[in-house]
Amino acid sequence: MRFAETGYNLEVDLSTGNVERVETDPRWTEQHLGGLATSSRILWDRCPPEVEPYSEENLLIFAAGLLVGTPAPGANRTVVTTISPQSLFTAYSMMGGFFAPELKHAGYDKLILRGRSPSLVYLWIHNDKVEIRDAAHLAGKGANETADLIRAELREPKAQVAAIGLAGENRVRFASIEHGRSSASRLGIGGVMGDKRLKAVAVRGTRDLNVARPAEYMELCNWVLKYIGIREQKPVPGVMPILAGLGSPQEMKLIDEEWHTTNFMWGNSRTRRRDFWTKEIEEKWKGTQESVRKRLVSCYNCPMKCGATISVPGVATYMMKCFSKLTYTMAAYSDLDFGFRIAQRATEYGVDAFSAPQVMAYGLELLEHGILGPADFEGMPADNEGRFYWLLDRIVRREGIGDVLADGTYWAAKKFGKAAEDLAHNNIKKHEQLPLKLGMLNPVYFLMYCTGEKSNITQIEGQFPQAPFATMAEREDFVKDWVQVPDEKFKKYLLDWELRGERSNPNYPTVEMSCDIVDWQERMHHIDDALGMCAGLGSFPLKPPYHIHNYPAFIAAAAGLDIDEAGLTTIARRNRTLLRALNVRRGLTRDDERPPDDHWKKRFPDLEQKLLDGYYKFKGWNLRGIPTESTLNGLGLGFVADDLKKRGLAIDDDHPSHGQDSAPADHPKAAS
């Protein structure tokens, strides 16, 4: 008997219509846990680097993590994995909501899709019964609209649906997959779903999920709830409001947006408006938010309320969470009412709310700079907000200029030459980043931005405060009950971290400390992503209920896997390294590992190279950022080493001989 997991994957070939229920190898659970990690393993085995994102060979995997569907609060994440049409590396985009638990109750840990359907279809999974159904009547429908129509035609109000909108159907490179209050948005996975001609997946499951040691597990789960209750009464003092509590940033709850609106950039990540937030704005935005927000809403089995039902007069009701509240508003230099209105349309179309607004603002910059002419924008209204609606409509239909912009800022810029490439200034690995431009380089963030396989900071950071506390008293207060630290040394790092002077950014935390801190944060994200635990209760917030010291007990009681902290750390390292190897095999090099040039005003090229060298070494990679043979073998990834060698990728350990050198310029590229 398998515990916590179902032990089966559902494999669907959309080209042939073949459907199989495949038993999984329990040894993979021991080696990787599940979720993102076992999906990476499948991609490694079955998606060689020659595979194009938009091809029959690319896989699209919906995975529920190991703990999903068990009573552990917050274990509800769906991890969608594929080859990204935007970065061309591995995409793993996650969503909360109700999809993954339903999939597990239907009897599957993963849904693995391959091929390409001859016509638009949707998939209906009802326990053992799996049907590929015609979706011609759903073509062009919005993502939420599609979910409603499917539930109605199946007469299954409890079916959980993940769907794409027009953007996915038209293979926009930043299209999302939408699921009610949640979406898997980043890196264009909705485009891959559209390329497979798959409009939606509906799932309904009514089977049991078992845990290995019920009483023990329940005690742990009860403790989590108790802790959440206490922690909610004790917000962390001295940090910005969105970082004080648990959950994902409480954008739906909080009204005070001084921090975002005066620190994040407006337009195409261009302008900082330090004086934007006034009493008058606060009153106006408060009015807007309170009038459109009908209810705060949760994901499956989680007491946090990170999302909200939004009902703006004149547009259909939808749900929103997190920072998408401000991305459209700020890209258009507009107000919150506009942000809530356009986000409804964007959600139905299914686009990434980080990328889409920047792409539209970028399009307007191309016009302002004369790189494109008025003819390219024929028919565009003159008013500011109208222009954004117009652009959004063009992009998701790939009409006119929208066809180019639908590829995102990086690929659009390639078509228009150097000047346009300079304007596409906010990318890492071809992927639009948070609209954030800062002063002094932060060494920890430098490393996370550069090396994160996610290419997206919000899924990498957490645990360690983003900035030092001003006074020693505040620091001492913070570390007092900081039980989540893997090692006492982290407390010292924080206690010694100053706002100014010798022990401040960029030289403090030191290279070595920065590697430690990044490693800890990554480790927690990789554990969460394998377990299907929401980062909002694990790897993202300060002082979360789930941490390195108690996770082994959860895993043991739920799945019957007896591992300790060291064992869990090794698994996380194995999983992180496998993901890195996947991307290395697809051509990722040290050159790709750089933040946008203007991310910080004050940059330190020598220090930055030392940071990268130090981090690679810490990880057991060579100076090219490639895991070395001994590292791979040590993690039981000998098959990865063999494959990389066969492809001519240098997995030698060059640290002792090269010392401080950065990567040689002639390093071989992967055959992609």
Partner 1 sequence: MDPTSKKRKKLVKTIRIDVDKCNGCRACEVICSSFHASPKYSSSNPERSRIRVIREPLRDIYVPVYAGEYTAAECSGRDKYTIDGKAYDECAFCRASCPSRSLFKEPDSGLPLKCDMCESDPPLEEPMCVQWCLNDALVYEEHEVEVEEEEGVEQGELELGLESLVDRHGLQKLMDTIARMKKKG
Nearer to partner 1, 215 or 375 (CB): 215
Q: Which of 55, 263, 309, 609 binds partner 1 (CB under 8 A)?
A: 309
Q: How many CB atoms lie within 10 A of CB 168?
A: 30
- Among the listed residues 43, 135, 184, 319, the single contact to partner 1 using CB under 8 A: 319
Binding residue for partner 1, selected from 105, 231, 387, 547, defined by CB under 8 A: 105
Q: How far is the CB of 214 from partner 1 (least distance, A)?
A: 4
Is 560 a binding residue for partner 1 by CB under 8 A? The answer is no
| Least separation in angstroms between CB 172 and partner 1 | 24
- The single residue among 228, 360, 392, 640 that binds partner 1, judged by CB under 8 A, is 228
Torsion on CA atoms 598, 603, 607, 611, rounded to nearest 10: -30
Q: Whose Cβ is closer to partner 1: residue 232's or residue 283's?
A: 232
Q: Which of 129, 207, 234, 500 binds partner 1 (CB under 8 A)?
A: 207
Q: Which residue, 156 or 496, is less far from partner 1 as judged by CB?
A: 156
> Exactly one of 229, 237, 386, 417 binds partner 1 (CB under 8 A); which one?
229
* Burial class (CB within 10 angstroms; exposed 0-12, middle 13-18, buried 19+) of 509: buried
Judged on CB neighbours under 10 Å (0-12, 13-18, 19+), 349 is: buried
Contacts of 546 (CB under 8 A, 6+ apart): 74, 224, 528, 533, 537, 538, 554
Counting contacts by CB under 8 A, is residue 321 touching partner 1? Answer: no
Closer residue to partner 1, CB minimum distance, 206 or 291: 206
For residue 222, the minimal CB distance to partner 1 (Å) is 8
Looking at the chain, how many residues does it have? 672
Question: By C-beta, is 182 or 261 nearer to partner 1?
Answer: 182
Helix axes 384-397, 336-349, angle to 10 degrees: 10
Token reading at 448: 């996370």
**Residue choice 296, 438, 479, 607 for contact with partner 1 (CB under 8 A):** 296
Distance CA 167, CA 191 (A): 7
Closer residue to partner 1 (CB): 291 or 317: 317
Cβ closer to partner 1: 134 or 232? 232
Stretch that binds partner 1, among 317-325, 424-432, 484-492, 507-515 (CB under 8 A): 317-325
Q: Give the x-and-dash track for 148-167 against partner 1 (CB under 8 A).
A: x--------x----------
Residue with Cβ nearer partner 1 (69 or 595) = 69
Rounded to a whole number of angstroms, the distance between the first and last alpha carbons of the chain is 41
- Is residue 558 a contact partner of residue 3, using CB atoms and an 8 Å limit? yes
Residue burial 310-343, b: 16+ Cβ < 10 Å; e: rest: bbbeebeebbbbbbbbbbbbbbbbbebbbbbbbb
* Amino acid symbol at 532: G
* Nearer to partner 1 (CB atom), residue 135 or residue 209: 209
Among 27, 119, 136, 215, interactor with partner 1 by CB under 8 A: 215
* Residue position matching structure tokens 């109000």: 157
| Long-range contacts (CB closer than 8 Å, 24 or more residues apart) made by 373-381 | 376/400, 376/401, 377/401
| Dihedral class, residue 300 (left if φ above 0, else alpha if ψ from -120 to 50, else beta) | beta
Structure tokens at 7: 């032990």
The residue from 129, 137, 295, 369 that contacts partner 1 (CB under 8 A) is 295
Could you give the CA distance from residue 74 to residue 101 in angstroms, rounded to a whole number?
11
**What is the pattern of x (binds partner 1, CB under 8 A) and - over residues 369-398?**
------------------------------
61, 111, 184, 211: which one binds partner 1 (CB under 8 A): 211
According to CB under 8 A, which residues from 53 to 92 bind partner 1? 69-71, 73
Nearer to partner 1, 11 or 178 (CB): 178
Using the rule CB under 8 A, is 320 a contact of partner 1?
no
Residue 362 binds partner 1, judged by CB under 8 A? no
Distance, in Å, from the CA atom of 419 to the CA atom of 188, rounded to the nearest integer, reads: 25
Rg (CA), the chain: 24
How many residues sit in the footprint of partner 1 (CB under 8 A)?
42
Closest CA to 196 of 49, 83, 79, 35: 83
Q: How do beta strands 198-204 and 121-126 pair?
A: parallel
Residues that bind partner 1 (CB under 8 A): 69-71, 73, 98, 105, 144, 148, 157, 180-181, 206-211, 214-215, 217-218, 222, 225, 228-229, 294-303, 305, 309, 311, 316-319
